[in-house]
């Protein structure tokens, strides 16, 4: 069984989607399985039950707002009814790259 991870993306103009697709392709070349989904496809992933590592690739709009296909995701994870440790089981990598 090949190691698996999840790649979730949110993209307004396609840049984050392209990067996420590149990550998934390169993973395959290295013998890994990458489940690739857009953040608005929440019927295809379940972060509450996910145990594999998760990579988030999201590009903001010009004002730093989430892209349209990530709005519902952002609303879900910012719910005040969620406990602060709701997603503590997730393994994820965070990196910020700002273009000037």
1 pLDDT more than 90: no
Inside any domain, residue 100: no
Letter string b/e over residues 11-50, b meaning 16 or more CB atoms within 10 A of that residue's CB: bbeeebbebbbebbeebeeeeeebbbebbbeeeebebeeb
53, part of any domain: no
For the segment 2-48, what is each residue's pLDDT rounded down to a tens digit? 899 999 999 999 999 999 999 999 999 999 999 999 999 989 999 99
Please indicate, yes or no, if residue 68 is contained in any of the structural domains: yes
Within a domain: 49: no
pLDDT at 64: 82
In a domain, 55, yes or no: no
């Amino acid at each position: 069984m090949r190691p698996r991870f999840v790649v979730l993306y949110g993209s307004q103009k396609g840049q984050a989607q392209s990067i996420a697709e590149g990550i998934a392709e390169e993973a395959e070349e290295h013998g890994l399985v990458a489940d690739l989904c857009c953040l608005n496809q929440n019927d295809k992933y379940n972060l509450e039950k996910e145990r594999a590592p998760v990579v988030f690739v999201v590009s903001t709009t010009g004002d730093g707002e989430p892209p349209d296909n990530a709005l519902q995701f952002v609303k879900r994870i910012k719910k005040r009814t969620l406990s602060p440790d709701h997603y503590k089981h997730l393994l994820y990598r965070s990196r910020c790259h700002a273009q000037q």
